[in-house]
Amino acid sequence: MFSPDFASDNVVSMPNRLPPQAIEAEEVVLGGILFDPEAIARVIKILQPEDFYVGSHKNIYQAAVRLHQSQQPTDLLFVTSWLESHGLLHNVGGRNKLASLLNSCVSAVNIDALAELIREKAQLRAVIQTALQMARTAMDAPLTEMTATSVIEMGQQKLLELRQLTVPCQMKLMADIIPDVYAEIEASNNGEDAIEVNVPTGFYDLDSVIGGMPFGALTVVGGRGGIGKSTWALDIGIRAAASGLTTAYFALEMSASQMVKKTLSRLAAPHVPADLLFKRNALRESHWNPLAQACADAMALPFWLNDNPVITTSQIKGDLQDIQARCGSVSLVIVDYVQLIEPMRRERGENRVQEIDSILKQLRAIAKQFNCAVLGLAQLKREVDSRSEKRPTKADFRESGGFEQEAAVMLGLYREDYYDKQTTQKGIFEVSVLKSRFSSETTVNLLFDERFGQFKNLAKSQY
């Protein structure tokens, strides 16, 4: 019997393999929700029940969603009760299955990244399903008298619908935007009742140049290690929080205890030098009242701290979503410092420049998503210390040109007394505006009192 010799290019075949899925990630996400009921508020913005590959996982997540929507906890007891009352407990594997999910999770810290992974796999399965449906339609076309053109058009429509679900259209008609923009301009020019369009640094010479740190944009500030970057950023964060702006500080280098001690010294100035708070039996009787008042002042600030030394931009986003849910908004996000952020799993293995470029893009995206100012600190190249002119330039930002590309404002920090202890410029802290999309490049001088980690305006310039 004659067997036609089909060209391999003309044969449609599907390999016998499982569709894309992330079962272990599904288990960890569900365990994280049972472990930390507050985690559902972050996950629910990413995942739908149908995104889960395993049917029992879908039912468990559906239970958590329903409980959250009715403002009930999503812990082991409540989820078990909900499944039992809806006749689903046996179907998902019983109490042992839920207990094993809980025991498999020790923390909900990575839950956002894992939820994104599950969502990605679900989207790939949807693409495969659409492609298979198109293949079946094409195979049946001779029987249904459909033309190739009609099959293609139907497939294009289904792919377009799938794209709209995964990548919503971002195009906006200018006519629809103008009313909101005009209202924003009007509100920002309303005298004493004017709303903020940025986060002031609190230093009038600097703010008069850059207009503060703009909402929805990334500001980066670079300096050599020990120059005072963290202390300056903390000072800005305290000033912002003291004015009522919710501030989130991600301290990847220092512990929360160290940050709080620096804050207390700053608020207790000029009574409690910072170094005394890091020593044993160093405080005198006269220090305690100012320190107690500083504690009371600090406790009233809308200032949030995360001192996890290993963190991704996805985890930063998750923390900001939690703060937003509690406080309504986030105004200022400080990352100390950018090069210490862990790359996402899909970016690992890329070269370091690509990793930093991607991190900076994600920080800029966070600024836009939360309409907040993001202040990213950065280490400068060591070569700065070996040249005669040590004031920073844009080219000194280490490991990536992405700083200049992604940042709306670039600032460089410099202290003469950092290099020359005998200088007559002791205490002068230079802030150079290396790039600004909203102003010119210049240098502003501040006074730095290192004993208290406090920065002060110098005599006001005349403009």
Complete DSSP assignment for 164-199: HHHS------HHHHHHHHHHHHHHTTSGGGPPPSEE
Per the CB < 8 A criterion, the answer to whether 238 and 341 are in contact is no
Write the CB contacts of 107 (distance below 8 Å, at least 6 apart in sequence).
32, 35, 36
State which of 53-67, 418-432, 447-461 shows the largest mean pLDDT. Answer: 53-67
Write the CB contacts of 376 (distance below 8 Å, at least 6 apart in sequence).
218, 219, 220, 221, 334, 335, 337, 338, 360, 363, 407
Using pLDDT thresholds of 50, 70 and 90, give the confidence band for residue 177: confident
Write the CB contacts of 181 (distance below 8 Å, at least 6 apart in sequence).
none
pLDDT attached to residue 45:
82
Sign of torsion over alpha carbons 84, 90, 95, 101: negative
Place of tokens 């009038």: 204
Mapping DSSP to helix (H, G, I), strand (E, B) and coil, where does residue 16 land? Answer: coil
What does each C-alpha distance from 307 to 254, 258, 415 come to in angstroms? 7, 10, 27
pLDDT attached to residue 460:
53
Tell me what the mean pLDDT of segment 66-72 comes to.
Answer: 87
How would you list the strands of the sheet with 443-449, edge to edge?
303-306, 247-251, 332-336, 373-379, 217-223, 409-415, 428-436, 443-449, 454-457
In this structure, the number of other CB atoms found within 10 A of the CB of residue 69 comes to 10
Q: Is the pLDDT of residue 12 over 60?
A: no
Per the CB < 8 A criterion, the answer to whether 244 and 199 are in contact is no
Residues 256 and 305: their CA atoms lie apart, in Å, by: 7
Percentage of the chain surpassing pLDDT 90?
11
HSE, side-chain direction, 13 A CA sphere, residue 400:
23
Q: Is the pLDDT of residue 72 over 80?
A: yes
Whole-number average pLDDT of the chain = 82
Task: For residue range 131-156, list pLDDT tens digits in order.
Answer: 888 888 888 877 777 788 877 878 77
Question: If we measure between CA atoms, which residue out of 260, 205, 243, 463 comes closest to residue 373?
Answer: 243
Residues 103 and 290: their CA atoms lie apart, in Å, by: 46
Single-letter amino acid code for the residue at 187:
A
Using pLDDT thresholds of 50, 70 and 90, give the confidence band for residue 4: very low
**String of DSSP letters for 408-441:** SEEEEEEEHHHH-TT-TTTTEEEEEEEEESSS--
Full set of structural domains in the chain with CATH: 23-165 (1.10.860.10), 198-457 (3.40.50.300)
Residues 238 and 203: their CA atoms lie apart, in Å, by: 13
Tokens of 351: 């070269």
